[in-house]
Structure 1
Amino acid sequence: MVHFVLVHGVGHGGWCWYKVKPQLESAGHRVTAIDLAASGVNMAKIHEVHTLSDYTQPLIELMDSLPTGEKVTLVGHSLGGYNLALVMDMFPQKISVAVFLTAHMPDCTHSPSYVMDELIERIPADFWLDTQLSSDLDPEKPKNIVVFGPKCLFSNLYQLSSSQDLALAELLARPGSMFHEDILKVKPFSKEGYGSVNRVFIVCKRDLTMKEDFQRWMIENNPVKDVMEIEDADHMPMMSKPNELCFCLLDIANKYN
């Protein structure tokens, strides 16, 4: 039995894995779909969450609670790649493999913000459509706030997903943050921690948020053990291609556990 820990992206929560969780469980595995701070049903408000570490705290607590000798398969989607990197650096001995699902994947050489800065450069201004972008104006630890608008969700994140899944996102998505200002200050992830864990990248070829060429750029920047592809997946493969995603995850679990 493999213990999968599924980590959502910005504005989302553990709810976004609702198609994937039962499939992995029916294959005999244990699945934890976590809510990060101020996400899903986590009671914190985004204005109370100041740093990437604060945001990752529920995942840090989960990893810390694992008994000695237990290893998990971590899966991070989108911004969730940064949450993976943080706990990989802290708990490398507790992770069999880390799966970056069209996710931010930093390296051990540059500032952790390096891949985020590159993505920000590549995203055109009109991408955001009706998304509300603001700052919380905290004088000590300012951060950007993101509230996805329905048009942006439909056009750029969920364009190949069902209308039901889009409606779910419109109902459940919460204000989030990329924590860019904090990530700018974080020291590079270590080779001994983050760099020592097996990494696999799953490329989503129809992703309009992190386009395929950007995903390939991250892989070239920081090579991984394996690269898998999902052909007709948008930025939300757990919604648009759950069966194909589960096939990839089960294949990875068999190989690295």
Structure 2
Amino acid sequence: MTTYVLIPGAGGSAWYWHPVGAELSRRGHDVVAVDLPGPDPGAGLPEYADLVVDAVGDRSDLVVVGQSLGAYTAPLVCARRPVSLLVLVNGMIPRPGETPGEWWAHTGQEAARRANDVREGRDPDAEFDLATYFLHDLSQEQIDASAEHMQEESEAVFATPFPLDAWPAVPTRVVAARGDRFFPAEFQRRVAQDRLGITPDEVPGGHLTALSHPKELADLLESYLHAVASMP
């Protein structure tokens, strides 16, 4: 049985993954969605990786999926456990030694977001609005529920350098949501090519595509799994 290990982004709530987890469970897979202590000022990337590895336990045949900031933790898990496949969804793809706090300026995320706002008719100088960049494609029911699970992310993780000297030797795929306003798809394509030499596959939805389009994301994850399983 394949185990999907689902790592959330900033705030650390496993709840974010529940629609995708339900889809994958219905298809006969084991699912481990990990709660991370986002607000804890004493928890950095090593502690996050420890928590994920502990949650996995003695399970095998692992597919590790990291969302957004979770892209910093996911490769660390792959360096410690045998993993069949690593997938990054709207991910902050790290470089060796780079902190998540440095990632924004290194990748040019802010300029990319502003340029996308101009293209789509939003004021790039408007005050940052959570609904505009994260909740715009969710149902009202999902928006209400997300408010109950939303947490701040402490500076501890953002100050932790990515400790691996090289990307783990694991088949890796990158997924970009076409409607992501926070990490625009064009920006994600550039970063993925620059850092991993990978062209992302695209799914519908925004930055929280696992909430807005879980079936499409689960379908893509399954297609990756089948492709890797058929590799010689």
Q: Separation in 1 of the partners of 2:78 and 2:95?
A: 12
* TM-score, scaled relative to structure 1: 0.75
Q: Is the Cα contact below 8 Å between 1:153 and 1:166 reproduced in 2?
A: no
Could you list the per-position Cα deviations for residues 17-52 of structure 1 after superposition, in whole angstroms to 9, with x for gaps in the alignment? 1211111111111111111124xxxxxx52342x22
**Residue equivalent to 1:47:** 41
- CA RMSD in angstroms comes to 2.4
Q: Separation in 2 of the partners of 1:11 and 1:127?
A: 24
Q: Structure 2 matches for 1:1-257, cutoff 5 A?
A: 1-38=1-38, 46-49=40-43, 51-63=44-56, 65-66=57-58, 70-91=60-81, 94-108=82-96, 111=98, 113=100, 115-117=103-105, 118-119=107-108, 121-122=110-111, 123=113, 126=125, 129=128, 152-177=129-154, 179-183=157-161, 186-187=162-163, 189-191=164-166, 194-223=167-196, 227-230=200-203, 232-257=204-229
Structure 1 residues 20 and 87: CA distance shift in structure 2, 3 A: same
Could you list the per-position Cα deviations for residues 118-175 of structure 1 after superposition, in whole angstroms to 9, with x for gaps in the alignment? 255435585763xxxxxxxxxxxxxxxxxxxxxx331101211111111111121112
Equivalenced residue count is: 216
Q: Separation in 2 of the partners of 1:25 and 1:127?
A: 41
* TM-score, scaled relative to structure 2: 0.82
| Percent identical residues | 21
Task: In structure 1, list runs of 5 or more residues that go unmatched.
Answer: 39-44, 130-151
**Residue equivalent to 1:142:** none
Q: What is the CA-CA distance between 1:213 and the residue it aligns to?
A: 2.0
**Secondary structure of 1:57's match?**
helix
Task: In structure 2, list runs of 5 or more residues that go unmatched.
Answer: 115-123
Structure 1 residues 14 and 82: CA distance shift in structure 2, 3 A: same
Q: Separation in 1 of the partners of 2:109 and 2:200?
A: 24
